[in-house]
Amino acid sequence: MEPLLAKLTNTKVLTYAEALQASRELLDGTMPDAVAGAFLSMLQTRGETADEVAGMVEAIREKAQIIPLQAANVMDNCGTGGDGSQSFNISTTAAFVIAGAGVTIAKHGNRSVSSRTGSADVLEKLGIPLYLPAEEMTHLLEENGIAFLFAPHVHPGLKQVMQLRKVLRIPTIFNLIGPLTNPVQLDSQLLGIYRRDMLVMMAEALHKLGRKRAIVINGAGYMDEASLAGENHLVLLEDGKQTAFTLHPEEVGLPVYPLEAIKGGDAAENADILLRVLNGEPGVHRDTVILNAGLGIFANGKAPSIQEGIQLAKESIDSGAARQKLQYLMDYKKEVTP
């Protein structure tokens, strides 16, 4: 590690291979805590690069549970968190809408870190199991088109790093990469990030990780989701090429709402919002989910335009298809519980 730390000390960047090597040592527990702290701190201070992010992610994925999936064109939709909006669980709700539109979703997530309620908290409140073995997660993805991959369950080797993060008490590369570490080899992704200055870098990291299509978004109000509050900033990745653009909700026929209108609550309240959206209740929650789901459907390539993605999202809810995807997961617990 000494040569790599020397590079970072001189504000030089690591290659993908160097980042992968250092990350493997960090995750193996062979790196002393002081060195690990210096490594993570220097990356964060200088600013992470796409190669460094991709190297760290690949090292994490090497240690993850293997999900032997045969389905084609699998995607995830997830945000980094950290935007401070305290919104309801937008991406979790949108995941069922995207799945209802015919896209296979390997929904990777965790309990609350920077918000009041994480995806795992809400789904657990709805009775969805978090600790399924790999073969059952595979079954759900192939039969239902959506499954939840609980991050601590599929990444058991990260416990030591979590302790280090608690000691450091500063943002690190781990605040950025959670949505990238899905153990399923994804073809496409909708990635929300609270740092607008990192849109291009994260799109490049997704390319290095093998995504064929992706959208990286920073929403109005610097949300890590698409927002109805104003102009959203996005980068589309398609076959290695990046296209930056902005999107206002009125451009796709959706109303404007203030950020305060989508504030959520505890797990029970956010679970209720999720159910009301999937049951067709109109209003700000539905419109926010439709925008995000429409972008996800477009990011996947299922729809040739954002507008058509939004139309498919509406049909997914109104036909009951999105609600059926959720119901399948809720009923599955009853089937596997003695």
Q: Any binding-site annotation on 79?
A: yes
**Residue 144, number of CB atoms within 10 A of its CB:** 19
CA atoms within 13 A on the CB side of 214: 35
Residue 194, helix vs strand vs coil: coil
Q: Is 61 annotated as a binding residue?
A: no
Query: Residue 45: exposed, middle, or buried by beta-carbon count in 10 A (0-12, 13-18, 19+)?
Result: exposed
270 belongs to an annotated ligand binding site: no
The reply to whether 91 sits in an annotated binding site is yes
From start to end of the chain, where are the E strands? 74-79, 104-109, 146-150, 188-192, 213-218, 232-238, 241-247
115 is in an annotated binding site: yes
Angle at 18 between CA 5 and CA 36, to 5 degrees: 45
The answer to whether 292 is annotated as binding is no
Tell me: is residue 227 an annotated ligand-binding position.
no
- Known binding residue 23? Answer is no
Residue 302: other Cβ atoms inside 10 A: 18
Residue 251 labelled as part of a binding site: no
The answer on whether 305 is annotated among ligand-binding residues is no
73 has binding-site annotation: no
Q: Is 46 annotated as a binding residue?
A: no
Give CA–CA dist 72/36, Å, rounded. 37
Q: Which of 187, 224, 226 is nearest to 209 (CA)?
A: 187
State yes or no: 87 annotated in a binding site: yes
Buried b (16+ CB within 10 A) or exposed e, 107-124: bbbbbbebbbbbbbbbbb
90 is in an annotated binding site: yes
**Total Cβ atoms within 10 A of residue 308:** 14
What spatial distance separates the first Cα and last Cα of the chain, rounded to whole Å? 50
User: From the CA atom positions of the chain, what is the Rg in Å?
Assistant: 19
Q: Is 232 annotated as a binding residue?
A: no
> Contact at 8 Å (CB) between 131 and 152?
no
Query: Which of 153, 194, 160, 128 has the alpha carbon at shortest distance from 29?
Result: 160
- C-alpha to C-alpha distance for 171 and 259, rounded to whole angstroms: 24
| Binding site listing for anthranilate | 79, 110, 165
| Binding site listing | 79, 82-83, 87, 89-92, 107-115, 119, 165, 224-225
| Binding site listing for Mg(2+) | 91, 224-225
| Binding site listing for 5-phospho-alpha-D-ribose 1-diphosphate | 79, 82-83, 87, 89-92, 107-115, 119
